[in-house]
Structure 1
């Protein structure tokens, strides 16, 4: 049951990124850049890692309803992490935060 504590946070990061940050506009160029070793998305998005970690901890507090308790806090941590963390500057390309 504890392994499901990670599903909510991962889901929240994906949904926040696609629906809020990218406004459902993913182009073919963007997708090609995801796999470019020298592209804008090379490296680790620490906002996502931090948000998933915090969300998992919140989810583990009550593993039975972890999906519900961790989703919103994770999405908020990811959004504000993307907005304010200096290490995420290159990941803002193509988002509303650009």
Structure 2
């Protein structure tokens, strides 16, 4: 995994499961670090995880290859098991986060 060293194992497990699930569904992942979009429409697990936890919060946005937006998940670092703080309220995003924490 390419998560930053300062990110704790619990949060790595949850974020990793979420990202792997999204990629398995064919979603592209964009990473917002609270200041800028550090990565846009990526499908490379290592590149995505390297950008997670650059600041104290991360927003992951998920899209289909066609560009259609699936939704977003807001991660607040330091919350361990409660890493996933909020997400888009739609069926696809709720299914994505279900069971990853």
Settle same-fold status: TM greater than 0.5.
no
Q: Which of the pair has the greater relative contact order for Cα pairs under 8 Å at 6+ separation?
A: 1
Structure in which a larger fraction of residues adopt helix: 1
In the superposition, the TM-score normalised over structure 2's length comes to: 0.34
- Greater radius of gyration (CA): 1
